[in-house]
Amino acid sequence: MTLQRTFSIIKPDAVKKGATGDILHMLQHAGFNIIGMKMLEITKQQAEGFYAVHASRPFFNSLTTFMSSGPIVVLALEKENAIADLRKLMGATDPAKADSGTIRKKHAASIEANAIHGSDAEETAKFELNYFFAGYELAG
């Protein structure tokens, strides 16, 4: 197996409640190598660009308002099978349906304010990493 990269966001709800450290710990404990990390606040327009694939969904306006409501932590992660393994560690989108031991089970408040984002495929990981990181910012 070769190393794979994925992209993650610790969402505003999790940053606000002080869960950043615990989520970073859970990621590292699961074997993810953090190769890029920064805290920033994005505009509604930047959130719309990031979530463009969801533009026609009924929750798009609410989601992009939420994602621009406070600081987030963006992460570039590396690991074997990183994309699928991160999705598994995150748990279901709706925390009520998330398995125990997952990040969302522990930290998500609702289906929208669900603590963490993770890329869902190789192409989206590439787009999302490039959206937030320049090549020189990644530790490789």
Sites of contact with Mg ion (CB under 5 A): 120
Taking CA atoms, 108 is separated from 7, 15, 38, 91, 134, in Å, by 18, 11, 21, 10, 29
- Our finding on whether 111 is near ligand ATP (CB under 6 A) is yes
Site residues for ligand ATP, 18-57, by CB under 6 A, read 54
Q: Cα–Cα distance between 8 and 23 in angstroms, integer?
A: 11
111 touches, from Mg ion, ligand ATP, none (C-beta below 5 to 8 Å by class): ligand ATP
25 noted as active-site residue: no
Among 118, 128, 132, 133, binds ligand ATP (CB under 6 A): 118
- Residue whose CB is less far from ligand ATP, 35 or 83: 83
- Our finding on whether 93 is near ligand ATP (CB under 6 A) is yes
59 touches, from Mg ion, ligand ATP, none (C-beta below 5 to 8 Å by class): ligand ATP
Residues in contact with ligand ATP by the rule CB under 6 A: 54, 59, 63, 93, 111-112, 114, 117-118, 120
